[in-house]
Chain A
Amino acid sequence: MRQLQEQKASKEQNNNNASNNHSLVTMLHQIQETYNYLPENVLRELAKEKNIPLVDLYRVATFYSLFSLTPKGKHKILTCTGTACHVRGSEKVTEEISRVLGIQPGETTEDGEYSLEAVNCLGACALAPLVVVDEQYHANMTPAQIGALFNGVRKSTCQDKESSHCHCSSVAVGSKEKS
């Protein structure tokens, strides 16, 4: 009986170490870092390789808000929806970004250029309402500033690319906007 218990403990220990080194959440982070999202075929391979039921993988991947099963846009737009941002009017700012880009938080524009995420709190409450575009912080945003902000993003995107390959003009930005 005692031997059995020891065997069980040792097996548990091995499992623990294995899990410790390769926590599923960490693995999913690594995949997302490589592909910018969690592609289905990669998840299927991982499930096979690690002998984890795909359903378990799917459950973890969909439980956490930072994991995405669909590709993300080239430009990441985060709107902070923390309490400080909310009381200073972030909801209207997010609505205006949604209107300008034609997507809701969590979505990506059809051409794959922009993704919009509403995040709970970025911890920079003095800058509320806060919008982060490609890791650039934009403080004290109002709906009226959004049009100019995205024109700026578009311009810098255009400069980054050869004009013939630039898709910016087709981006939904300003679709309903007057110049």
Chain B
Amino acid sequence: MPSLQSRINTAADLFRLQETLQQRASSNNRYIAVCGDTGCSAWGSKSVKDVFRDCLEQKGLAGQVGMKFTGCLGLCESGPVVIICPEQIFYQKVQEEDVEEIIDKTVTRGEIIPRLLYQDVLSGETYTYMNEIPFYQKQKRLLMGNNLKIDPNSIEDYLALGGYSATARALTEMTPLEIIDEVKFSKLRGRGGAGFSAGDKWKECYDAVSDRKYIICNADEGDPGAFMDRSLLEGNPHSVLEGLIIGGFAVGAREGMIYVRAEYPTAVVKIKHALHQAEELGLLGENIFGSGFDFQVSISIGAGAFVSGETSALIASIEGRAGEPRQKPPRLAQRGLWGRPTVVNNVESLANIPVILREGEEYRRTGTDKSRGTKIFSLVGKVVNTGLVEVPLGITIREIIEDIGGGIKGGRSFKAVQTGGPSGGCLPEHLLDTPTDFEELNAVGSMMGSGGMIVMDDETCMVDVARYFLRFLQDESCGKCFSCREGINRLLEIIDDIVHGLGTPGHIDLLRELSVVVKDSTLCGLGQTSANPVLSTLQYFEEEYRAHIKDKKCPAGVCKALIHFSIDLEKCTGCGVCKKKCPEEAISGEKKEIHEIDPERCSKCGICLDTCTFDAVLKC
């Protein structure tokens, strides 16, 4: 058996090693996958995994039953997720105390434990196997599907699934132009949000003449509510690395860089480990696969600046300067990192590359004519099944929210869905049948963005959402352009007035006028799109603005200045819980007598509403 310690010198070496590892994996296919992504870890999956490991050892099963601490398995809402393979029995919300029972019953005897199965909220139906669960049925997990079979710390797992075959093919059988043509032919569009053709981008850098070029993986995933890039780096780092190596070869760069935001420490650890493993095997370094191509990768860590995700700002940050965007042209393919031609690709775009080279035909069959392949969305907010979903492009937003997401949480009604992060927009119910396609989303005033999909119900105030994004952008605007720096401030001042009950009828026109000015007169994408949350909420939810301005009411009950709390005289039992919990001592009343809220002292924190078990606190 080829030792993992020995260097892979040729494509034949790789295929031999893959075969050995495949045989090993198929002869020992009984294993327990515990999701180790940030979501499940936060629910306690690390200790669940440790208990599994100890328990298997104690029972003498460690040799027969494997363990994988995997990347994201998708259904974050049900964490910690545990899947018993090869059957793919899906257990949710597994706690340490469930572990022994799972081993004794399911792993040893094949018995199912009903209480740990996923149950559909609406139908009440339970599902045993992963693929039966409606959440997974409409998905096409080309990028994330392998997460179940891969321990991100194990390059062996990746190789056993045919990992690095695409790199071998690219470096030993193809010319850079052939690779670029294949990527162009696949119609892969940048997954960072802009949707620029990845093949055209590579060609531009390929054409640039220079003794030194760079390729950068942009993992500065700054959109709030989006975490697919983090999950790809944490769950399947070698797939991203493969994309980077192939891209480097195609454009003629011998140095690659991964720019990760500092808020993702686990991703940094995982990708560093993956780099080390690839270097040890000779998949990075000099003369990869004997092709004569040298390639090395380094990691650069951000320091918390949303605008640094903009490519020219990202380069400034790597060079050690404040991450501010610059005027383009010259484009990065002419003048990028350290003044050299540079190409910057998003994490998800790069993870698509090995899939395209390995399964090009299947890839091209997926998606729409203009937007091919799959897209990972982080489906979050007021939706039943929160998590990461990978769908063929072109699927409608309704299918994602209703069929995959299971509809709105807590039986409330749908109000809006926000896509595209702070640059995107909010879409109302009548646009739910819009397909997830770059052009279609732009046409209705939103955008694909990096893939955040935040679902909002009737308890979400759309004026407050616009205010939220403006505050975010106010913080994150680098301040270089006057129109962005001051324009966002003025927009925010107007919205602040509106949510405080000081809005005037002229404010709506003023917001529209100012938004257009900000849009038209700023340098970078952040500034140009910064008014989108205001414009789209105005376009589809103007009546909510009017309710704030004219009636001085917040229909969703969010804006503090426009709501007040009171006690329902018929429901109050005088139990005293609200009085005890009120931080402002604003509630008075004797035990077993009806209580009262002093509006002067009430800070509208809502603690009384949350703690009253008799629904006796009213908010209006």
Where the two chains meet, the residues of A that have a C-beta atom closer than 8 Å to any C-beta of B are: 12, 16, 19-20, 23-29, 59-60, 63-67, 81-84, 86-89, 92, 95-96, 99-100, 119-128, 130, 137, 139, 142-144, 147, 176-178
Q: Interface readout for B397-411 with A: 1 if CB under 8 Å, 0 if not? A: 000000000000000
Task: Enumerate chain A residues within 8 angstroms of B581, measured Cβ to Cβ.
Answer: 144
CB distance from B428 to the nearest CB of A (A): 15
A100 to B452, CA, bound (A): 32
The 10 A-B pairs of least Cβ separation, nearest first, read A123-B227, A24-B320, A64-B303, A126-B76, A137-B42, A125-B380, A66-B304, A84-B380, A82-B224, A65-B304
Task: Enumerate chain B residues within 8 angstroms of A137, measured Cβ to Cβ.
Answer: 41-43
Q: Are B418 and A95 in contact (CB under 8 A)?
A: no
Q: Are A29 and B230 in contact (CB under 8 A)?
A: no
Task: Enumerate chain A residues within 8 angstroms of B465, measured Cβ to Cβ.
Answer: 86-87
- Report if B305 contacts A (CB, 8 A): yes
Query: Pick the contact of A144 from B306, B472, B476, B607 — CB < 8 Å?
Result: B607
How many A-B pairs fall under 8 Å by CB? Answer: 169
A69 to B224, CA, bound (A): 25
Q: A125-B76, A126-B380, A126-B387 are in contact. Are A67 and B303 (CB under 8 A)?
A: yes
- Report if B312 contacts A (CB, 8 A): no
Q: A65-B303, A92-B605, A142-B610 are in contact. Are A126 and B77 (CB under 8 A)?
A: yes
Q: Are A126 and B305 in contact (CB under 8 A)?
A: no
Q: A84-B381, A121-B225, A143-B610 are in contact. Are A60 and B321 (CB under 8 A)?
A: yes
CB distance from A55 to the nearest CB of B (A): 12
Q: Are A120 and B378 in contact (CB under 8 A)?
A: no
A125 to B38, CA, bound (A): 10
Where the two chains meet, the residues of B that have a C-beta atom closer than 8 Å to any C-beta of A are: 38-39, 41-43, 76-77, 79, 221-227, 230-231, 262-264, 300-306, 317-324, 338-339, 378, 380-382, 386-387, 418, 421, 452, 454, 456, 460, 465, 468-469, 472, 475-476, 478, 580-581, 583, 585, 603, 605-607, 610-611
Task: Enumerate chain B residues within 8 angstroms of A23, measured Cβ to Cβ.
Answer: 300, 318-320
Q: Are A20 and B338 in contact (CB under 8 A)?
A: yes
7 contacts between A and B (CB under 8 A): A60-B320, A83-B380, A86-B224, A121-B225, A126-B79, A127-B76, A143-B610
Classify the interface of chain A: helix, strand, loop or mixed: helix
Q: Are A87 and B381 in contact (CB under 8 A)?
A: yes
Task: Enumerate chain A residues within 8 angstroms of B303, measured Cβ to Cβ.
Answer: 25, 28-29, 64-67
Q: Are B225 and A144 in contact (CB under 8 A)?
A: no
Residue of chain B at shortest CB distance from A130:
B42
CB distance from B585 to the nearest CB of A (A): 8
Q: Are B381 and A83 in contact (CB under 8 A)?
A: yes
Q: A19-B319, A87-B460 are in contact. Are A81 and B606 (CB under 8 A)?
A: no
Q: Are B338 and A120 in contact (CB under 8 A)?
A: no
Most buried by B among A63, A121, A126, A137: A126
Query: Pick the contact of B320 from A19, A82, A84, A147 — CB < 8 Å?
Result: A19
Q: A86-B468, A95-B605, A121-B224 are in contact. Are A139 and B42 (CB under 8 A)?
A: yes
Most buried by B among A27, A83, A143: A83
